Amino acid sequence: MGLFAPPEVKALKEKALHIGGLIGGAYTGINPPALIDELLAEDGWERTEFRAAFEAAAQKVGRDKALSVAIRDARWAAGYAAELANMVRRPAWEAAEQAIGDLLS
């Protein structure tokens, strides 16, 4: 889903890229781990906003497609941060994927 994606999917992509960037920043040491704890907090606004964006996109394109979009974009942003720091991308990808799962649980 790219240029012609529904607005709900674009909003989800934006949230997923933001989360992936935060995860990537924590992996590279730019963001403190406490920021990630705050991100994943049960009552955190990040979680609330991400879930709302995910549910809206899921209603539009289905849960599987919405989950695929969220994971792909979060992994991309986390991997990009790792690549900029000349670090291995795979652990950042895995951390981003785990964070998306945690946000939705």
Q: Structural domain boundaries of the chain?
A: 7-104
Alpha-carbon gap, residue 69 to 13, rounded angstroms:
7
| Mean pLDDT over the full length of the chain | 90
CA distances from 67 to 26, 58, 72, 97, 101 (A): 22, 8, 8, 10, 9
**What is the reported pLDDT for 1?**
57
pLDDT top residue among 37 and 63: 63
pTM over 0.85: yes
**What is the reported pLDDT for 46?**
83
Residue 73 clears pLDDT 90, i.e. is over it: yes
Average pLDDT rounded to a whole number, residues 75-92: 91
Alpha-carbon gap, residue 31 to 5, rounded angstroms:
31
Residue 74 clears pLDDT 90, i.e. is over it: yes
